[in-house]
Amino acid sequence: MGKKHNVAVVGVGAVGIEMLRCLKQRNFPVGDLKVFARSAREIDVDGDKYSVEAISPEGFEGINIALFAGTEGEKGAAVTYAPEAIKRGVVVIDNGADFRLDPEVPLVVPEVNPEDVKQHNGLIANPNCATIQMVVALAPIHKKVGLKRVIVSSYQAASGAGRAAADELLSQSKDILEGREAHPKAMPKQIAFNVFPHIGGFGELGYTSEEWKTVRETHKILHDDTIKISATTVRVPVVTGHSESVYIRCKHKIKIDDIRKLLKESPGIKVIDDPSKGLYPTAIDGAGIDDVLVGRIRQDAFNDNALWLWIVSDNLRKGAALNAVQIAELL
């Protein structure tokens, strides 16, 4: 693949580990690889041993690209260390939420707006997991017939809130099955055998921060803030794989068969849509794969310009690590 690049991965939670996995699986041309976290240790990923160093500004000397895994619900390491890395000539790809809506920082999904990568000043933001899978499916439709209105309900896996939340789902399930009470710690409510419409903090107009991310990030990625978007984000007892029920109203009429064909021909999408044979994507189908899965494609019975999609994706892969590695490949 020609030139090799010195790469740093910052963070070894669920997303950081998935970044290491994606770099290897995609044969990214890595020269030297450094792995940083708050404290030094050894980790094992699929039988490969990695030596984790304690993060420091000096550690970024000689690095070309740094992938920051980002953290849920708190300031990410990129706030402290991205400026130090950039000073040393590193291009930072940040999976945290801190820079996504900064007008100086491109927010990139490679299948949708790859050209935005060129605008970077050393920092590129990776969008929110629920936004990524939705825009991969919506972008081809928007390009073809224009989007007027999007209403999305997302059913988001526990791992989207980090490894502790995924562990809590499993431990709570065990507790309940063995007759003990569940005590939420990593999540705001019991997650085992339950769903709750609360991801992020509640704010403006009663929407959560996660719901506003879906709106504002989609506007930024598609370069169109005239699209009216409303979201409800729901946490469900699934370990990995976000699902979304998306209603869209288009500016122009388009046949459902044409939508299906359009999506089948679009990059990063796999259409699984034959409900009569029981074929539609589920969260389990999306886990561990790169594609965004789309099914249940159907017309609104009362509006020829409107339709429904069911969109599924691995929130740790395309929703985070894979998208970041694809941005690095673009660079």
Q: Which residues belong to the active site?
A: 129, 242
**198 touches 208 (CB < 8 A):** yes
Distance CA 264, CA 202 (A): 37
Distance CA 121, CA 106 (A): 9
Distance CA 253, CA 238 (A): 36
The token pair at 27 is 């044969």
At 83, phi and psi to the nearest 5? -60, -40
**274 touches 281 (CB < 8 A):** no
Q: Which residue has the tokens 């594609």?
A: 291
CA 38 to chain centre: 23
The token pair at 143 is 């390009």
- Please return the burial class of 311, using the count of CB atoms within 10 Å of its CB with bins 0-12, 13-18 and 19+: buried
Q: Which of 32, 83, 84, 96 is nearest to 56 (CA)?
A: 84
Distance CA 303, CA 13 (A): 45
**93 touches 106 (CB < 8 A):** no
Distance CA 281, CA 141 (A): 19
Distance CA 7, CA 35 (A): 9
Distance CA 91, CA 123 (A): 6
